[in-house]
């Protein structure tokens, strides 16, 4: 078992935004957190990463490789982030730093977590840019984020998140801000990288069609509570909760159904 979330409760300014959420992410599982906007998906992810906003109070338990993350000192959480647990956010909240080259932003993980010098880290960044299939990696690392397309910027963010080969990737709506055709490319890239490394994945989306392309399991959230969870195939073919049924109706594209073709 890699990640165990138990009875997670999050209050922000006295309002309960996550209310007793429990789920597991076993080694190599790709778990979707799905629900409407405001259902508590991002807050759950931020709690795992120790990045909740000021004023948030958190209860329950989040165990990573058996170690309790809630209450862990910031220094130890910072050491986990980017090293054992990678993060990709939706653009533009990802906020790649606009005044740093993309190469430096990919290289940063090597400098922080592996203590590499600037030149060596940059050389490694070129290899990582190639791994996420950015065109002309040796040149593109010298560019600034605004010189790249949205899809390329998300590839940079993925390269930075995976540079240190984390065992868990948390991706919060990583394709939501992108054009539909680019979304499919990014999903395929993520799927290949995650399965290729046997990484575990927590993938956040409001779109069941997107989730059906990448996840093995899903946790359906509504107003901060889990309303249904299980293998994705079961949720797609026999959704029990009206919330899941609604998500299935609202899915942007044809949902992949096991055994049912596309």
How far separated are the first and last CA of the chain, in Å rounded?
32
Q: DSSP 3-state assignment of 198?
A: coil
Structure tokens at 242: 């009206």
Q: List residues near Mg ion by CB under 5 A.
A: 41-42
Q: Is 42 in the site for ligand ADP (CB under 6 A)?
A: yes
Among 25, 34, 43, 168, binds ligand ADP (CB under 6 A): 43
Kindly tell me which of 27 and 250 has the beta carbon lying closer to ligand ADP.
250
Q: Is 41 in the site for ligand ADP (CB under 6 A)?
A: yes
Kindly tell me which of 6 and 16 has the beta carbon lying closer to ligand ADP.
16
Kindly tell me which of 14 and 259 has the beta carbon lying closer to ligand ADP.
14
Among 53, 66, 196, 198, binds ligand ADP (CB under 6 A): 53
With contact defined as beta carbons under 8 Å apart, do 203 and 215 qualify? yes
Q: CB-side exposure of 64: number of CA atoms within 13 Å? A: 21
Find the binding residues for ligand ADP in span 115-134 (CB under 6 A): none
Distance of CA 52 to the CA centre of its chain: 15
Judged by beta carbon distances under 5 to 8 A according to partner kind, the member of ligand ADP, Mg ion, none in contact with residue 53 is ligand ADP
Q: How many C-beta atoms surround the C-beta of residue 171 within 10 A?
A: 28
Instruction: Give the nearest distance from C-beta 95 to Mg ion in angstroms.
Output: 15
Q: Is 12 in the site for ligand ADP (CB under 6 A)?
A: yes
Q: CB-side exposure of 154: number of CA atoms within 13 Å? A: 26
With contact defined as beta carbons under 8 Å apart, do 41 and 33 qualify? yes
Q: Which residues bind ligand ADP (CB under 6 A)?
A: 12-13, 17, 35, 37-43, 53
């Amino acid at each position: 078992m890699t990640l165990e979330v138990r009875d997670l409760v999050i209050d922000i300014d006295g309002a309960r935004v996550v209310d007793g959420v429990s789920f597991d992410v076993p080694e190599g599982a790709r778990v979707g957190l799905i629900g409407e906007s405001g259902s508590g998906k991002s807050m759950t992810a931020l709690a795992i990463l120790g990045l909740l906003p000021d004023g948030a109070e958190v209860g329950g338990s989040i165990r990573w490789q058996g170690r309790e993350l809630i209450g862990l000192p910031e220094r130890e959480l910072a050491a986990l982030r980017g090293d054992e647990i990678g993060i990709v956010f939706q653009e533009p909240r990802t906020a790649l730093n606009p005044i740093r080259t993309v190469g430096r932003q990919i290289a940063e993980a090597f400098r922080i977590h592996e203590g590499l010098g600037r030149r060596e880290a940059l050389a490694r960044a070129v290899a990582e840019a190639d791994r996420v299939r950015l065109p002309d990696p040796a040149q593109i690392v010298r560019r600034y984020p605004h010189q790249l397309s949205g899809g390329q910027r998300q590839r940079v963010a993925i390269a930075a998140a995976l540079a240190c080969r984390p065992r868990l990737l948390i991706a919060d709506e990583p394709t939501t801000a992108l054009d539909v055709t680019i979304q499919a490319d990014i999903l395929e890239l993520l799927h290949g990288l995650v399965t290729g490394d046997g990484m575990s994945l927590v993938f956040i989306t409001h779109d069941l069609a997107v989730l059906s392309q990448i996840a093995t399991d899903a946790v359906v959230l509504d107003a901060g509570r889990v309303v249904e969870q299980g293998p994705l195939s079961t949720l797609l073919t026999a959704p029990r909760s009206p919330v899941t049924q609604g998500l299935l109706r609202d899915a942007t594209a044809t949902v992949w159904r096991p055994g049912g073709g596309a």
